[in-house]
Structure 1
């Protein structure tokens, strides 16, 4: 059985890859754990994750902080904002199926959009908080 963090990451990847609004915004299911060297823009990558013990009494649980990244080179912030919005809409309060674990909740926490140092790339950083329990 995978850890809760691995199961959550897999379920997030699957949900994003199957979301028609996000897939249309990306011109395909361009959701990567690590982007290919010559990935076409725009795309989304799964970023850092942190897990914490969230147990209460005899009830086991974990809290997860997940970061997703949206990348754009359309020119301006607009596309990065649209992709980040599609990610938020897809995942906020989503009912994901986790192998060996139960998702208690998944909530959007914060998003930032900025232009990278190259002057061409816009980068949205979208953070979520999740709570899981073993089944």
Structure 2
């Protein structure tokens, strides 16, 4: 069985690209000289609940927005679009998403003095198909 976070990550990647977020600049590995703005699928964790009656997991994943426009309007606009797109119960092969929820967004300036950064976090409750 695959880790359900891999399936969620793939669904997030596909959803963001199909929606044209950042003109499809959605990266796992950022190019050496990226065009801004862009998005990365970031950190997360999977917490299991295998209690003998059923197999389930809680998957928490973050999506990062990177912008170099002055202030936060661009990063906040993109983060809002992502929030609207990803609080959905994805169709995942081998899994069923029973809960999909937005958790929080944090905005920050990076130490380089040029880049604005938003971190959008989501929580998904996943039932494992047998």
TM-score (norm 2): 0.92
Counterpart position of 1:134: 128
Query: What SS does the aligned partner of 1:85 have?
Result: helix
1:50 aligns with 2:45: yes
Output the CA distance in 1 between the equivalents of 2:5 and 2:74.
Answer: 29
- Determine which of 80, 89, 95 is the counterpart of 1:95: 89
Unaligned runs of 5+ in 1: none
SS in 2 for 1:40: coil
2:99 equivalent to 1:105? yes
User: 1:57 offset after TM fit, Å?
Assistant: 5.4
Aligned length: 129
SS at match of 1:81: helix
Distance, in Å, in 2 between the alignment partners of 1:133 and 1:9 is 16
Residues 64-118 of structure 1: per-residue CA shift (max 9 Å, x gap): 11011000001111101011111101111x1312121111121110101111111
Distance 1:56 1:19 in 2: 37
Q: Is the 8 A contact 1:63 1:130 kept in 2?
A: yes
List structure 1 runs of 4+ shifted beyond 4 angstroms. Answer: none
Pairwise CA RMSD? 1.4
